[in-house]
Amino acid sequence: MPTFAESSVPVDNILARRREPPRPLTIITSEDSALRHPPIADCARYDQLRTFDAAA
């Protein structure tokens, strides 16, 4: 049979969640802040940064 301390853990978790501050609202961004040119990956640059030891 569980002891009092073992059975109170779920209750403690529920009470702790109620004390947490409410989550912030989702921020809606405007189209002005959207990327005008998507980033382009330069895989060759990253390959140059790697050493021969890292490639093995």
| Structure confidence by residue, pLDDT tens digits, 17-53 | 888 787 788 877 777 777 788 888 888 888 888 766 6
Whether pTM > 0.75 for this model: the answer is no
Position 12 scores a pLDDT of 85
Per DSSP, the three-state class of 46 is: helix
Report CA dihedral (23, 29, 33, 36) to the nearest 10 degrees.
110
Residue 13 Cα to chain centre, angstroms: 22
Lookup: tokens for 55: 């490639």
Q: For residue 44, give the amino acid letter.
A: A
